[in-house]
Amino acid sequence: MIQYCNHCAATVVFTIPPGDSLARHVCPACGHIQYENPRLVVGCVAEWEGRILLCRRAIEPRLGYWTLPAGFMENGETTAQAAARETLEEAGARIAMDAPFAMISIAHINQVHLFYRGRMSSPDFAAGEESLEVSLCRPEDIPWTDLAFRSVSLCLEYYLADRASGRYGFHEAALLPA
Amino acid sequence: MIQYCNHCAATVVFTIPPGDSLARHVCPACGHIQYENPRLVVGCVAEWEGRILLCRRAIEPRLGYWTLPAGFMENGETTAQAAARETLEEAGARIAMDAPFAMISIAHINQVHLFYRGRMSSPDFAAGEESLEVSLCRPEDIPWTDLAFRSVSLCLEYYLADRASGRYGFHEAALLPA
């Protein structure tokens, strides 16, 4: 919870600034406003010879569950660069990103999850610090009941359906609290 | 520039936290980390009887220039809700959102611009506080040299090309510093 100005250390006030419509953390001393906005989580569904790259989480939340490689987008990068970086960090795999594939708003946790489709440049992979293990998983072996997040399940459902139809689209969805 | 912890007001240190790979503003007193991440700017290309809804900006940056209705996504909303809210605020228009249409990364300003396609529910519109005027613009009358942002120009170019082809896709791009 924001209590102090990060520019001058004065105690902030939670109030609607002039010309705005929502309450913000405003500094009465220096005027600085600390905005809070949704964060982008970016990842990918990457294939090698028909198998899909999955990571088993070594960190909370959902430690021990399986997920697509993904993580918070950083300043100074594009969405495609974020997807590639996260996949390299978590799965030790280099990916040629094809196209954005799914965008899932999760308003109650202030996140937007964005997944690309991609192809592994080689069959090489290795668990990064945030992964217990990494696997190239056949579609019929996807551990549906051990997936970490609903956005990951939804993205994989879209992916397998599109793959079966032979035509990949761009999918948008919103998840409500479980 | 972040100098103080917004939880406890101690002076922060810019350092790489354990297990991380990038420097963050870390509080040596309470351990709180102030992350900075890219922000989503969300808007739409909305039509009424073949005309496109444009706003002339009443605020900096690019005061006086024309733009698509768009603005910073807020916590607690979906991307589609953000697009609808911004269009109502800036252009006084209610929009049925069709589908995400363009996503443009602008890494050097830490933003991702996302535009939906939409249809106005009625021909009603009115300039909001952030707009000098609002117009339903025929494609041949788009003020290309007076558009506010390159992402807006690019989105409108994609839109008119797709409209001419009779098939709307989802477009991804990245803009470099001008």
One domain, residues B27 and B110: no
Percent pLDDT > 90 in chain A is 97
The token pair at A126 is 């290795």
pLDDT band at A147 (very low <50, low <70, confident <90, very high): very high
Residue B148 scores a pLDDT above 90:
yes
Number of domains in chain B: 2
Q: Please give the C-alpha separations between residue B151 and each of A39, B41, B53, B130, B177, in angstroms, as whole numbers.
A: 20, 11, 16, 19, 12
Percent pLDDT > 90 in chain B is 97
One domain, residues B26 and B47: no
- Chain A residues closer than 8 Å to B35 by CB: 72
One domain, residues B20 and B56: no
How far is the C-alpha of A46 from the C-alpha of A54, rounded, in Å? Answer: 9
Amino acid A74: pLDDT: 98
**CATH number, domain with residue A153:** 3.90.79.10
Amino acid B23: pLDDT: 97
**Contact between chains at B78 and A174 (C-beta distance less than 8 A):** yes
Residues B81-115: tens digit of each pLDDT: 999 999 999 999 999 999 999 999 999 999 999 99
Q: What's the whole-model pTM score?
A: 0.97
**Contact between chains at A78 and B105 (C-beta distance less than 8 A):** yes
Beta carbons of A40 and B37 less than 8 angstroms apart: yes
Domain encompassing residue A2:
1-36
Amino acid A119: pLDDT: 97
One domain, residues A98 and A169: yes
Amino acid A19: pLDDT: 84
One domain, residues B16 and B85: no
One domain, residues A91 and A9: no
Residue A6 scores a pLDDT above 90:
yes
Amino acid A129: pLDDT: 93
Amino acid A150: pLDDT: 98
Q: By a Cβ cutoff of 8 Å, what residues of chain B touch chain A?
A: 1-9, 12, 19, 21-22, 25, 34-40, 72-81, 89, 99-100, 103, 105, 107-108, 110, 112, 129, 170, 172, 174
- Chain A residues closer than 8 Å to B79 by CB: 103, 105, 112, 172
Q: How much is the average pLDDT of A118-135?
A: 96
One domain, residues A32 and A43: no
One domain, residues A100 and A126: yes
Q: How much is the average pLDDT of A121-133?
A: 96
How far is the C-alpha of A41 from the C-alpha of A101, rounded, in Å? Answer: 14
- Chain A residues closer than 8 Å to B3 by CB: 6-9
Beta carbons of B97 and B116 less than 8 angstroms apart: yes
**Contact between chains at A38 and B40 (C-beta distance less than 8 A):** yes
Residue B19 scores a pLDDT above 90:
no
**Contact between chains at A38 and B3 (C-beta distance less than 8 A):** no
**CATH number, domain with residue A12:** 2.20.70.10
- Chain A residues closer than 8 Å to B75 by CB: 36-38, 110
How far is the C-alpha of B47 from the C-alpha of A66, rounded, in Å? Answer: 43
Q: How much is the average pLDDT of A96-103?
A: 98
Name the residue among A161, A58, A63, A171 with its Cα closest to residue A113.
A171
One domain, residues A3 and A73: no
One domain, residues A128 and A67: yes
One domain, residues B7 and B48: no
One domain, residues B62 and B7: no
How far is the C-alpha of A161 from the C-alpha of A168, rounded, in Å? Answer: 9
Relative to beta strand A33-34, strand A24-26 is antiparallel
